[in-house]
Structures are given as structure tokens and as C-alpha cells.
């Protein structure tokens, strides 16, 4: 009885062994792992950027945009470009498809008090104004303009009252005209010097801002000139 039981117990084990072997043999082989994609090589090598350090360039990117500015430096992956506005823009070298050297932007004219220079003066004042220690003249110029305008207005009113006094022979108009005349002359005498002195200070400050603007554009850049059998040093004045 024990032998019979042992035989029946071994039958399921023997029957399941081929099935498991078949299942194992059916498995498809695993595909080999894909090789790692090497990093993209830049179309313009870093050495080209480094040779143009201090120069104004125009770089065309893969997305169609164009970056124009002065090259401040470059390494193996990134170039740093200073735009004409003064903003610093990092450029990924792998995104650049074309690079060429360009002429620097035209020299900006001196600042004036005209409204056409107001936006430029505000921008320069944000960049450099905190370094200016002398009076800027804005308050004095504005105060002088207000006082002078008030004095001129009083003089005009005084003239009108004087005409009315002569035509009507009314002493009230005459006394009012005299009072406005004196007050107007006083305001003009105070406002005109304030306006002139404030304008001079303002123009001196604007001239200083213009010099700071020009100082940041003009740079002497050292370089290396390859020659047959050696090389030589060069100095390039970049504006």
C-alpha cells in the first residue's frame, strides 16, 4: 500500500516538470540595452567663442532667434553675451547654429533734457545713479521752473489789470496791478537763478551718466595673433 501511494504522489511531479520546462523555453530573449546617447557636440566650438572674447557677435539659435552682443567669456558649454542694453545672457553652445562677428552699435549721443532722452536717462540712472555723490539738480530745476512760471503769470495778470485800470480809471485795478507786478518781479528774480543753476547741475549729471555709458562700451581686449612659426600679442579696442 505504501508503494502504491508513493507512485501516485510522484506522477503529478513528473507530469508538471515538462510543462514548466516548456514555459521556460517559451520566454523571449531580453533585447540588449540601448547604448547611452552621447551629448550633442556644438556646431560652433568653444575655442571660436573664446577667440572672439570682447568682440560684438551675432549668434543664430536653433529656434530661429538671434542674439547680438559682446562676448564676455565662454567655457566648454556656455558663452556669456552682454547685450547692448547691458543685460547679461548665457547662451548654450549646443543651441547655436551660426556665429559671426559684427560691428559694435553706434556710439550713443550725449544726454539732453528733451523728452526724447527721458527713457534713456531713466535707464542709465538706474544703472549708475547710486554712484553719483554730487547734487543732481532735479529738485532745484523743478522748483525754479515752478517759481518762474508763477512770477511770469503774475506779470501777465499785472499788465491786464493795468490796462483795466487805465480804461476804467479805477484805483482798485491799479493797486492790484502794482501788487502783482512787485510779486511777479520777486518770483522771477528767485525762480530764474534756481532754474539756471538746477539746469546746469542736471546737465552735469547727465554728462556724467553718458561718460559711464561710454566707459562700459569701450574696452581694450588683449589677444593672440597666430603667425607662421609662432605668434604675437595684440590689443583690440572694442567699443
Please check the confidence at residue 205 and state whether its pLDDT lies above 70. Answer: yes
CATH number, domain 46-105, options 3.40.109.10, 3.40.50.150, 3.20.20.140, 2.30.30.100: 2.30.30.100
Rounded Cα–Cα distance for residues 13 and 149 (Å): 114
Average pLDDT, the chain: 79
Give residue limits of the domains in the chain: 46-105, 115-219
Q: At what angle do helices 138-168 and 171-217 cross, to 10 degrees?
A: 160
Rounded Cα–Cα distance for residues 162 and 10 (Å): 137
Rounded Cα–Cα distance for residues 78 and 64 (Å): 18
pLDDT value, residue 183? 93
83, 71 in Cβ contact below 8 A? Answer: no
Return the percent helix, strand and coil in the chain, to nearest 5.
Answer: 55, 20, 25
Verdict on whether the full-model pTM lies above 0.85: no
The more confidently predicted of residues 226 and 141 is 141
Maximum pairwise Cα distance, the chain: 156
Q: What is the mean pLDDT of residues 87-103?
A: 90
Which of 27-36, 118-127, 135-144, 162-171 shows the lowest per-residue confidence on average (mean pLDDT)? 27-36
pLDDT value, residue 229? 43
pLDDT band at 19 (very low <50, low <70, confident <90, very high): very low
Which of 12-16, 35-39, 51-55, 155-159 shows the lowest per-residue confidence on average (mean pLDDT)? 12-16
Which of 182-186, 203-207, 227-231 shows the lowest per-residue confidence on average (mean pLDDT)? 227-231
pLDDT value, residue 83? 86
Please check the confidence at residue 130 and state whether its pLDDT lies above 70. Answer: yes
Rounded Cα–Cα distance for residues 146 and 121 (Å): 22
Q: What percent of the chain has pLDDT over 70?
A: 73
Residue 221 burial (10 A CB sphere; 0-12, 13-18, 19+): middle
pLDDT band at 232 (very low <50, low <70, confident <90, very high): very low
pLDDT band at 218 (very low <50, low <70, confident <90, very high): low
pLDDT value, residue 82? 87
**What's the Cα-to-Cα distance from 168 to each of 55, 159, 163, 165, rounded to whole Å?**
78, 14, 9, 5
Rounded Cα–Cα distance for residues 95 and 128 (Å): 33
Q: What is the mean pLDDT of residues 194-207?
A: 94
DSSP 134: S
**C-alpha R_g of the chain:** 42
pLDDT value, residue 216? 64
DSSP 131: G
Residue 195 burial (10 A CB sphere; 0-12, 13-18, 19+): buried
Amino acid at each position: 500500500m505504501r508503494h502504491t501511494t508513493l507512485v501516485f504522489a510522484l506522477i503529478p511531479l513528473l507530469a508538471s516538470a515538462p510543462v514548466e520546462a516548456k514555459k521556460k523555453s517559451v520566454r523571449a530573449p531580453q533585447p540588449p540595452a540601448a547604448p547611452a546617447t552621447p551629448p550633442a557636440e556644438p556646431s560652433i566650438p568653444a575655442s571660436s567663442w573664446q577667440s572672439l572674447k570682447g568682440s560684438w557677435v551675432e549668434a543664430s539659435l536653433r529656434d530661429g532667434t538671434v542674439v547680438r552682443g559682446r562676448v564676455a567669456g565662454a567655457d566648454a558649454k556656455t558663452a556669456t553675451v552682454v547685450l547692448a542694453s547691458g543685460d547679461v545672457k548665457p547662451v548654450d553652445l549646443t543651441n547655436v547654429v551660426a556665429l559671426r562677428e559684427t560691428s559694435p552699435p553706434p556710439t550713443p549721443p550725449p544726454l539732453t533734457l528733451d523728452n526724447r532722452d527721458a527713457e534713456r536717462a531713466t535707464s542709465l540712472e538706474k544703472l549708475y545713479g547710486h554712484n553719483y555723490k554730487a547734487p543732481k539738480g532735479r529738485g532745484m530745476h523743478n522748483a525754479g521752473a515752478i517759481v518762474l512760471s508763477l512770477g511770469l503769470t503774475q506779470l501777465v495778470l499785472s499788465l491786464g489789470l493795468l490796462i483795466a485800470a487805465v480804461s476804467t480809471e479805477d484805483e482798485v485795478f491799479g493797486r492790484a496791478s502794482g501788487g502783482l507786478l512787485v510779486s511777479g518781479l520777486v518770483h522771477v528774480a528767485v525762480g530764474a537763478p534756481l532754474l539756471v543753476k538746477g539746469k546746469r547741475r542736471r546737465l552735469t549729471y547727465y554728462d556724467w551718466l553718458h561718460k559711464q555709458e561710454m566707459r562700459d562700451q569701450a574696452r581694450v581686449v588683449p589677444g593672440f595673433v597666430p603667425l607662421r612659426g609662432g605668434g604675437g600679442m595684440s590689443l583690440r579696442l572694442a567699443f
